[in-house]
Amino acid sequence: MADGIRTITIVLFDGFELLDVFGPAELFGSERERLRVQYIAETHEPVHAIQGVAIVPDFSYADAPTPDIVLVPGGMGTRKLVADAAFLAWLKAWGADAALVTSVCTGSGVLAAAGLLEGYRATSNKRSFAWASSNGIGVEWVPAARWVEDRDRWTSSGVAAGMDMAAALLDHLFGPGTGQAAADSAELELHTDPAWDPFAAQNGLA
């Protein structure tokens, strides 16, 4: 942050959920003079979302800069990641010293598997909650939450919930009203209560 700009690095992998990444990125982009968004993957080759869109990352694991804010999205590709010991070891080592570690949807299952949620409260996608919460140890899983903020760990519920969390994160970084201004620009109606979660009841979790 030598230039005074905060940086959020989004971890990409084959099978990531497109809105988990670009929903938050849309809001983060409203603060481009104060917040830089960059993308990282195993190599510099294009990475494919589950919807088929290919994204070229800015960095590979090998040349990854020291992270400021980390975001791990969800998607069906997370199922392979939690069994990838080399990836989990890299993520734990690389993300351990980040100022903030965040996730959207089942990305929290990946963070848990990497040991980055031990001793923290966290949530995840409600339809995949049982799977996500089966990963890691020492995590206090919160079944009914739009997102959970626990010190330097932020985790959101499924897909669109990531945009609500992103707006709250903008407020956290740059002051109250920043997230709402970003949402207004995108014509997005925010849910600002992190405990608002009708989907937990819909999926038998509350």
Spatial distance between the Cα atoms of 159 and 105, rounded to a whole number of angstroms: 6
Closest C-alpha to 43, from 28, 16, 63: 63
Note the pLDDT of residue 156: 98
Per-residue confidence (pLDDT) for residue 79, from 0 to 100: 97
> What pLDDT is stored for residue 6 in this prediction?
97
Instruction: Look at residue 3 in the predicted model and tell me its pLDDT.
Output: 74
- Residue 85 CA to residue 92 CA, distance in Å, equals 11
Fold adopted by 6-202: Rossmann fold (3.40.50)
The number of residues in the chain equals: 206
- For the CA atoms of 154, 66, 26, 151, the dihedral, rounded to the nearest 10 degrees, stands at 20
Residue 180 identity: Q
What pLDDT score was predicted for residue 1?
Answer: 55
Residue 4: is it exposed, middle or buried by C-beta count within 10 angstroms (0-12/13-18/19+)?
Answer: exposed
Per-position pLDDT tens, the chain of length 206: 557 899 999 999 999 999 999 999 999 999 999 999 999 999 999 999 999 999 999 999 999 999 999 999 999 999 999 999 999 999 999 999 999 999 999 999 999 999 999 999 999 999 999 999 999 999 999 999 999 999 999 999 999 999 999 999 999 999 999 999 999 999 999 999 999 999 999 999 98
Report pLDDT for 14.
97
Nearest to 15 by CA among 39, 49, 47: 49
- pLDDT for the residue 206: 85
Beta bridge pairs of residue 16: 49
Q: How far apart are CA 18 and CA 163, in angstroms?
A: 12
pLDDT score at 100? 98
Residue 48 CA to chain centroid, in angstroms? 17
